[in-house]
Amino acid sequence: MAGLTARLYEPILGRLLAGVRRVVLGLCPPRPGMEVVDVGCGTGSVLGRYAAAGCRVTGLDASPGMLAEARRRLGPGALLVTGEATALPFGTGTADLVAAMMLLHTLPEEERPAALAEMARVAGGRGRVLIADYGPRRAPGLGAGLARGLAGAIEGLAGHGGGVRSLRAAGGVAGLAASAGMVVEAASAAAGGAIAVTLLCPISSPGR
């Protein structure tokens, strides 16, 4: 069943997330030789875009089924490991970019600061952390309302409705950044304003 769910993820949800992924790549464009770690990598779709640009890519997910699908898509060149976001099995400062797509709202509220701190640790003093997840603000307009409604229905079916609400109440990723020793370097909106894509850097980052 898990394998079937992984195979259906891209045909169904991947299309809905296409715009979010474009914003992610625009906010932190790939460059050859870049070390990229995707926490909660799912099917490996985002990693695939970085790999195609010559980046060295690593993915972590708690689901063996998702990792099997990521392996099918990415081939042997990607390092894929099973693990938890709160205890990343990677060295400090070993990544230029640590990304997490639609992950934080699925974690228990009390685990989010630890997960973000682990991402910051792996990024180190010169790397960046890039998060795409639900933001605290609600953009006006019919299109934004429809996007929020669709996202709410999907998350409700997945049992993540409470996680979305608690993440928004905490101020989204920007509200959690300081707990991990990070600040917002750049941000953009996707999915009609329902999703915030946030690029974080260390408070003590060079140039700050």
What does the pLDDT look like over 158-203, one tens digit per residue?
A: 556 677 888 888 888 999 999 899 999 999 988 777 888 999 999 8
What would the pLDDT profile of 75-100 be if each residue is shown by its tens digit?
999 999 999 999 999 999 999 999 99
Q: Is the pLDDT of residue 134 over 90?
A: no
Phi first, then psi: what are they for 168, rounded to 5°?
A: -65, -40
Backbone angles phi, psi at 128, to 5 degrees: -130, 155
Q: Are 193 and 137 in contact (CB under 8 A)?
A: yes
Contact 86, 27 (CB under 8 A): no
Does the domain at residues 2-86+97-202 carry the CATH identifier 3.40.50.150? yes
